[in-house]
Amino acid sequence: MRPGLSFSHMGFTVRDMAAMEDFYSKVLEFTVTDRGQLSGPNGMMDLVFLSRDPDEHHQIVLVSGRPAHLEHNPINQISLKADSLATLREMHRRLVAFGLPEIRPVTHGNAVSVYAPDPEGNRLELYLDLPWYVDQPMRVPVDFEQDDATLMASLEAHARQLPGFEPRAQWRERMARRMGVA
């Protein structure tokens, strides 16, 4: 890792704090680590801190005050990395059970992802890195009904046909040299 800075957490404003806290804690299994109020530019703000890592006080902070109508959602996506295909499948099941619209499993060639909106329409990406790399951007739908072996075989067969296919370790070495941390 490049020394100096590492990504730690993000915060975003919400309209319905209870619904958002419920979703992030029950569906995505974040733990509320703290809550309280602070004075902000438009009055008092409620804050809820959430984490999935005991080394991080918070990875997400929800802040009240999101306007009811925005012409554009400034959050492109909130990406959470899964530790296994089993975890990604379980999260997909939870999103479906929660009743979210437009749940989309896709592959980017170098990862398999599940995209879905949270209750306020912020785009979530839950993903698993694959053991290879392909040039980006790239996205195609995935049939998540396949068993694990069939899914992984189809993901690899597809990726091998794409520009830039190489083992992830080889890509990582190249990026480490480019970043000056080899």
Phi/psi for 171 (5° steps) reads: -60, -45
Tell me which of 144 and 7 has the higher pLDDT.
144
Read off the tokens for 57.
């006080």
Neighbours of 60 (CB within 10 A): 20
Supply the pTM of this predicted model: 0.88
- Residue intervals of the chain classified under CATH 3.10.180.10 are 8-65
Query: 77-182 — its CATH code?
Result: 3.10.180
CATH number (3.10.180.10, 3.40.50.1980, 3.40.50.720, 3.40.50.80) of 8-65 reads 3.10.180.10
Tell me which of 71 and 18 has the higher pLDDT.
18
Please tell me the distance from the alpha carbon of residue 29 to that of residue 52, in angstroms, as a whole number.
7
Say if CB 109 and CB 34 are below 8 A apart: no
Give pLDDT tens digits for 100-143: 999 999 999 999 999 999 999 999 999 999 999 999 999 999 99
Report the pLDDT value the prediction gives residue 1, as an integer from 0 to 100: 66
